[in-house]
Amino acid sequence: MTKHDWTKEEILEIYNKPLMELLYEAATVHRKYHDPNAVQVSTLLSIKTGGCPEDCGYCPQAARYHTDVEGNDLMSVQQVKAQALRAKSSGSSRVCMGAAWRNVKDGPEFDNVLEMVRTINKLDMEVCCTLGMLTENQAQRLAEAGLYAYNHNLDTSEEYYKEVISTRGFEDRLQTIDNVRKTNVTVCSGGIIGMGEEIEDRAGMLVALSTLNPQPESVPINALVAVDGTPMEEEKPVAIWDMIRMVATTRIVMPQTQVRLSAGRTQMSREGQAMCFFAGANSIFAGDKLLTTPNPDVNEDMEMFKLLGLNPMKPFTKKSQPKTVEASESELTSLGEKPKWTRPDHTIERNLAAQNK
């Protein structure tokens, strides 16, 4: 049974274990719940860039900072479809669309995003969005359009959060996650390390994520990419050992979650990334950019996969999610039918969580 009452002290004890012991434990947990040779490849697409009114200290898309990011209006549905097809041909099974908004506003732009979701869904790909804060109604409309996941990162611990952003509260982020949970859309929520936080803050972020019930289906672990013109431009790159420890600890604390090795991979060697996969990371973002920051070329990633014997994961096949099909895949295959994917129903878990409050 998944543990939902982790404390900061317990997580720090895991994080600070001797590295070889930590890696062994994390790899053991990973193999219990996941295929150790399967890694999901996702593509992150900035459908609306720049001009954000927020003051996130790490973000080059904030309108108040002077960076080299060139803003653009919302992409068209056809442009997004073309990018999704390109991503699919390169091995991606998920497209995550990001818009530099503080919150979603009802109107023509949101209607266009809904059409983008429907369009990519028809390509037999997982669709994820990160659009800022959502209301319950907006989350439901995205669900009805076929959205598979919604990304809304906590960024860091509640205690350190005010050092990173002042224009949105930590509780605002939790509320958006709660609004998504009222639908059948899965939750993707993680954070960034290397923003000047202490190890205790990294543990605090994992406490906040792991005590959600249910836990997020996906947790991105990002290393800060310091961008000139942002308040965090002087921060030093995160040591690869910190990333390995963070990935391993996340895997142990949230065993069934997909752990995403996200921003900062251009600063990591293949050997470092391999240790992250061994420690439990089973998802990456491919493509030359993550919204606006650099990312390894997809051909480099495929070469790395070949060297490590890793296989790109097919969409909708993650074993970490509760089974919601009426028959197993082998049973359906024997009948000559294609397995039909449905999202997990978390109603029972939500009710139990409400009773325990």
Could you report the per-residue pLDDT of 157-180, keeping only the tens digit for each?
999 999 888 888 899 999 999 999
Whether residue 3 is contained in a domain is answered as no
288 and 332 share one domain:
no
Average of per-residue pLDDT values in the chain: 83
Tokens of 3: 């543990």
CA distance 254 to 271: 24
**Out of 34-48, 164-178, 228-242, which region has the weakest mean confidence (pLDDT)?**
228-242
314 and 335 share one domain:
no
Whether residue 130 is contained in a domain is answered as yes
Whether residue 181 is contained in a domain is answered as yes
Most confident segment among 65-79, 117-131, 223-237 = 117-131
Whether residue 115 is contained in a domain is answered as yes
> pLDDT digits over 87-116, tens only?
888 888 899 998 878 778 889 999 999 999
For residues 48 and 145, which has the higher predicted lDDT (pLDDT)?
A: 145
Is the predicted pLDDT of residue 3 greater than 60, yes or no? yes
Whether residue 201 is contained in a domain is answered as yes
Residue 181: which domain range?
8-321
Tokens of 7: 């404390």
- Residues 6 or more apart whose CB falls under 8 angstroms from that of 278 comprise 23, 27, 36
CA distance 240 to 256: 24
Residue position matching structure tokens 């869904």: 121
79 and 147 share one domain:
yes
Most confident segment among 169-173, 273-277, 350-354 = 273-277
Is the predicted pLDDT of residue 205 greater than 80, yes or no? yes
Is the predicted pLDDT of residue 78 greater than 80, yes or no? yes
330 and 314 share one domain:
no
pLDDT for 347: 41
18 and 129 share one domain:
yes
Contact, 275 vs 244, CB < 8 A? yes
* Helix H or strand E segment including 139: helix 136-145
**Out of 51-60, 185-194, 197-206, 314-323, which region has the weakest mean confidence (pLDDT)?**
314-323
Strand locations in the chain (E)? 38-48, 94-99, 126-130, 149-151, 186-188, 191-193, 218-223, 258-261, 281-286, 289-290, 293-294, 311-312
Is the predicted pLDDT of residue 242 greater than 50, yes or no? yes
229 and 127 share one domain:
yes
Q: Residue 65: which CATH number? A: 3.20.20.70
199 and 99 share one domain:
yes
Contact, 129 vs 147, CB < 8 A? yes
pLDDT for 290: 47
pLDDT for 202: 96
Mapped onto helix, strand or coil, the DSSP state of residue 296 is: coil
Q: Report the b/e string of 11-36 with b at 16+ CB within 10 A.
A: bbebbebeeeebbebbbebbeebbee
pLDDT for 53: 67
21 and 143 share one domain:
yes
Tokens of 333: 């295959």
**Out of 31-45, 64-78, 80-94, which region has the weakest mean confidence (pLDDT)?**
64-78
76 and 141 share one domain:
yes
Based on the structure, what is the number of domains in the chain? 2
Task: Catalogue the active-site residues.
Answer: 52, 56, 59, 96, 128, 188, 260
Other beta carbons less than 10 A from residue 66's beta carbon: 10
Is the predicted pLDDT of residue 335 greater than 60, yes or no? no
pLDDT for 296: 66
**Out of 15-29, 31-45, 99-113, 324-338, which region has the weakest mean confidence (pLDDT)?**
324-338
Is the predicted pLDDT of residue 52 greater than 80, yes or no? no
316 and 330 share one domain:
no
Mapped onto helix, strand or coil, the DSSP state of residue 28 is: helix
Whether residue 2 is contained in a domain is answered as no
The DSSP output letter for 136 is H
- Residues 6 or more apart whose CB falls under 8 angstroms from that of 121 comprise 127, 145, 146, 147, 148
Is the predicted pLDDT of residue 311 greater than 60, yes or no? yes
314 and 348 share one domain:
no
**Out of 279-288, 302-311, 314-323, 340-349, which region has the weakest mean confidence (pLDDT)?**
340-349
Whether residue 149 is contained in a domain is answered as yes
φ and ψ at 335, to 5 degrees? -90, 0
pLDDT for 190: 95
336 and 247 share one domain:
no
pLDDT for 166: 82
Whether residue 99 is contained in a domain is answered as yes
Is the predicted pLDDT of residue 289 greater than 60, yes or no? no
pLDDT for 46: 86
Most confident segment among 53-67, 236-250, 302-316 = 236-250
